[in-house]
Amino acid sequence: MKLLRNLDKSSRRNYFSYVLVTAAFLIVTFMNQGGMLNKKMQGLLVPVCCYIVMALSLNLTVGIMGELSLGHAGFMSLGAFTGVVVSQSLMGVIPNEPLRLLIAILCGAAVAAVGGFLIGLPVLRLRGDYLAIVTLAFGEIIMDIINCLIVGHDEKGVHIIFNFKGDKSIADLNLLEGGTAIIKGAQGAVGTKSISTFTGGFILILITLFIIINFVRSRTGRAVLAIRDNRIAAESVGVDVMKYKMIAFVISTTLAGAAGALYGLNFTGITAAKFNFNTSILVLVFVVLGGLGNLLGSIIAATVLYILPEALRQFADYRMLIYAVVLILVMLATNNPKVKNLFAKIIPVRRKGKGD
């Protein structure tokens, strides 16, 4: 993998990732203040940050650990709804919005970490296609469970009931006067005070990059790379396969939870159905097109592919058509030697002094 092939090259690439993210943030902030962004583009800023973090964290599971997970949106959703509940119920206690956002993100991350651990216990014993199928199932299970959730808040604290039979409603919470409903079952979170900011998203991306880059360089990260490279060899040198896979998986789900909390608090309402299989696949597409194990690639792919469908909205009917063509072109450009050469001719850059 590129991260390993040449440490100097990879440190350069990592350094560049930090610089690129910071530069992009500064430029966009500047443009925003200069009134160069329309309302629609402004609305995209925070979700783009969330999806970048999602792509980076999924890259840890798929690219660095080498196991295909199809339920990543499930952990995002755990983070999102935890974040919403925490933020809404602390509204009276902590009026400071950035601080509340921070606490909400930390709680979202913590719940996703616990979820990742519990789901990891059975799932990480599997490999390959089986692991992919089971993560897919768990992603859907999380979605269904949250669909049954009814949560409200009043002076006495947070009230939670599970509406498994479909016969309960917000009235069953018996909220005191002045209490508010936070999550209304399948209707999702309603009336959320939106407190996510672009700056928050930017900081979360930097933290995510920092965690993943240092993880890969650490002893633990090296063990994870060893398992991906050759499981039997890793066992024969004394690597506890289950333990190290679990560490990588939990870090991955934790970051997804953080991204989810940021996402959930960006909208006034959000439903569990938003975090379905399609969202997991969307993030996987970012990771695969950006390149497995390539963090900078994930960032760029997530940004471009998230903005593209929105930017193409005026061509309504042809939107998904163009999106598909772009996907195919990117795959060709990165894999087909002929097309690669063609691109290399058009764009005469890099690929020199690449030797180890």
Partner 1 sequence: MAMLEVNNINVYYGSIHAIRDISFEVNAGEIVTLIGANGAGKSTTLQTISGLLRSKTGSITFNGKDLGGVPAHKIVSMGIAHVPEGRRIFQQMTVEENIEMGAFTRPGSEYAERVENVFHHFPRLQERRKQIAGTLSGGEQQMLAMGRAMMSKPELLMLDEPSMGLSPILVDEIFDIIKAFHESGTTILLVEQNANKSLAISDRAYVLENGKVILTGTGRELMQSEEIKKAYLGG
Judged by CB under 8 A, the stretch of 27-35, 199-207, 226-234, 315-323 that binds partner 1 is: 226-234
Among 34, 38, 92, 236, binds partner 1 (CB under 8 A): 236
The alpha carbon of 276 is separated from its chain's Cα centroid by a whole number of angstroms, namely 13
Q: Minimum CB separation from partner 1 for residue 353, in Å?
A: 16
Q: Which is nearer to partner 1, 231 or 319 (CB)?
A: 231
Nearer to partner 1, 131 or 224 (CB): 224
Q: How far is the CB of 113 from partner 1 (least distance, A)?
A: 24
Quote the distance between the C-alpha of residue 267 and its chain's center. Answer: 17
State yes or no: residue 5 binds partner 1 (CB under 8 A).
Answer: yes
Q: Are 120 and 269 in contact (CB under 8 A)?
A: no
Question: How many C-beta atoms lie closer than 10 Å to residue 46's C-beta?
Answer: 23
Residue nearer to partner 1 on the CB measure, 106 or 226:
226
Per CB under 8 A, the list member of 19, 22, 240, 329 interacting with partner 1 is 240
Q: In this structure, how many other beta carbons lie within 10 angstroms of the beta carbon of residue 346?
A: 7
Stretch 85-124: interaction string toward partner 1, x if CB under 8 A: ----------------------------------------
The verdict on 178 binding partner 1 (CB under 8 A) reads: no
Regarding 241 and contact with partner 1 (CB under 8 A), the answer is yes
Site pattern 203..222 for partner 1 (x: CB under 8 A): ----------------x--x
> Residue 245: exposed, middle, or buried by beta-carbon count in 10 A (0-12, 13-18, 19+)?
buried
Q: How many angstroms separate the Cα of 1 from the Cα of each of 8, 229, 252, 322?
A: 14, 10, 19, 31
232 binds partner 1 (CB under 8 A): yes
Check residue 238 for interaction with partner 1 (CB under 8 A).
Answer: yes
Kindly tell me which of 138 and 249 has the beta carbon lying closer to partner 1: 249
Listed residue (199, 179, 210) closest to 97, CA to CA: 199
239 binds partner 1 (CB under 8 A): yes
Structure tokens belonging to residue 83? 């974040």
Sign (positive or negative) of CA dihedral 81, 83, 87, 89: positive
354 interacts with partner 1 by CB under 8 A: no
184-188: long-range contacts, CB 8 A cutoff, minimum separation 24? 184/150, 185/147, 185/148, 185/149, 185/150, 186/147, 186/271, 186/272, 186/273, 187/271, 188/269, 188/270, 188/271, 188/272, 188/273, 188/274
Least distance between partner 1 and beta carbon 152 (Å): 47
The helix (run of H) or strand (run of E) holding residue 161 is strand 157-162
Q: Which is nearer to partner 1, 168 or 217 (CB)?
A: 217
Q: Is 307 in the site for partner 1 (CB under 8 A)?
A: no
Q: Is 8 in the site for partner 1 (CB under 8 A)?
A: no
Toward partner 1, which CB reaches closer, 177 or 356? 356
Q: Does 237 bind partner 1 (CB under 8 A)?
A: yes
Which helix or strand (DSSP H or E) is residue 187 part of? none
- Give me the residues that bind partner 1 (CB under 8 A), please: 1, 4-5, 219, 222-223, 225-226, 229-230, 232-241, 356
